[in-house]
Amino acid sequence: MDLTEFRLSPAPLPPELLDLPDDLLERSASDGTIEENFEEELARAPEVYAEIASSLDESFAELNGTGLIEVVGDDEVGRRIIVVSACRLPPSKDLHPDKLLTYLMFTLDKYVEQDYSVVYFHCGLTSKNKPPLSWLWRAYKAFDRKYKKNLKALYLVHPTNFIRIVWQMLKPAISVKFGRKMMYVNYLHELQQYLNLEKLCIPDAVLEYDKLLLSKNPRAAEMARQNTEPVEKAPAPTEVPAPLKDSLSPPPTQQFGVSLQFIKENNVNMVGSIPPVVRQCVEFLSQPDALETEGLFRRSANISVTKELQRSCNRGEPVRFRNDPHNAAVLLKTFLRDLEEPLMTFDLYDEILKFQTWSNRDKPRQVKILILERLPLDNYKLLKYIIQFLWKVQDRSCLNKMTSSNLAVVFGPNLAWPPNGQMSLQAIVPINAFTDFLLENQESIFII
């Protein structure tokens, strides 16, 4: 292969690297800034994907069912987590590389408008399913600034020497800023310090490969054992002595990781059905300067600051947002995401997924049945409070660039998720469309 197409001048690659696509995700970078064309980049609303989803789903049928790309919720600071598993990539003979590129771009289009992270499991990429190296370069050029801007971290799990060599070869053409975002992760237990592994839908092949690597490295195996031992040896709830149970119960002021019912029954600062942390976040964000912040709810916050704010809330202390609207925005999303049960409840999840099958004529009636008749009263009051606040946010979209559709992309997955916590790509579109409908029609839906 003529390497002049790469416009690089390193030493020639060995033959076994000439068709290596191991770096197929290392094309996205982010500096976290907001561009002048921010509003244009946010223009593609959830309903756009709804209109073309059926035809594209049919076109991508062989990929949609593979689990090649999964969206597994948000991390601790509100960044969407996208998992790509090379072991689930179909054989190259069954999949044209250009179709793979189109599928990757179409899938990422739904999430790149907000801060996000990518976890790439390299295990399972073989000579049978890897695209050619020339495709890798085309993919890099295809993933333009739109895809690179909001990527905050790329975790490359189980990297091989091939990946490291190709990375060094392509490094002259890659942004320096991207290099700061990409992290090699040699073992799964190393990833635990960044993300909750239980959320990641890790393929069995990756788990087995990790065990194989650990069996060859006793020191790494010992570190992995130390990381997992507290979880494995934790006593089951039935084994906790009665006197100890009370000391393990959340304090009355706890707001994160508990139910709405717990907060209502225990928190003395509760006003009506609105938890104190939600009220404090909304009141802070309702100030004109905060409400008009460009990209509000799109940006992540410093994880240490977010953790400290959570601890303050759980101790019942007033929250100090350090005059940063993004701190309050992330804390509000984190509260919703950490509820024991989603605000829209598990019982309504399957019904929400049917939203796009309802006719436009039936949607108002069906949504009102879910919201007014089937949603618990406390959930209803809190949902109404949040949706009416978000209406104020989208009303200033000329300044903050957050339309109802953009807010739906952010809040939809934080209002509804399945009991197992793992949301499929196919579920994202109806959930976002349902949330957008709530925002657009809040005056007629929330009547009490």
Strand partners, 37: none
Confidence of residue 194 (pLDDT cuts 50, 70, 90): confident
How far apart CA 149 and CA 293 sit, in angstroms, is 18
Report the pLDDT value the prediction gives residue 334, as an integer from 0 to 100: 92
Under DSSP, the state recorded for 251 is: P
pLDDT for 253 beyond 70: yes
Spatial CA neighbour of 158 closest among 117, 119, 194, 193:
119
pLDDT for 283 beyond 80: yes
pLDDT for 428 beyond 90: no
Spatial CA neighbour of 335 closest among 421, 418, 416, 414:
414
Confidence of residue 41 (pLDDT cuts 50, 70, 90): very low
Residues 6+ apart with CB under 8 A from 326: 293, 296, 299, 300, 301
How far apart CA 95 and CA 268 sit, in angstroms, is 59
Q: What percent of the chain has pLDDT over 70?
A: 79
Q: Looking at residues 5-33, what average pLDDT do you find?
A: 35
Confidence of residue 33 (pLDDT cuts 50, 70, 90): very low
Report the pLDDT value the prediction gives residue 37, as an integer from 0 to 100: 40
Report the pLDDT value the prediction gives residue 135, as an integer from 0 to 100: 80
Report the pLDDT value the prediction gives residue 434, as an integer from 0 to 100: 97
Q: Looking at residues 197-214, what average pLDDT do you find?
A: 89
Confidence of residue 231 (pLDDT cuts 50, 70, 90): very low
pLDDT for 80 beyond 90: no
Contact (Cβ atoms closer than 8 angstroms) between residue 5 and residue 137: yes
Most confident range (mean pLDDT) of 111-120, 244-253, 373-382 is: 373-382
Spatial CA neighbour of 187 closest among 229, 222, 135:
222
Question: What is the identity of the amino acid at 385?
Answer: Y
- What would the two tokens of residue 334 be? 């984190």
Confidence of residue 423 (pLDDT cuts 50, 70, 90): confident
Report the pLDDT value the prediction gives residue 228, as an integer from 0 to 100: 61
Q: Looking at residues 379-392, what average pLDDT do you find?
A: 96
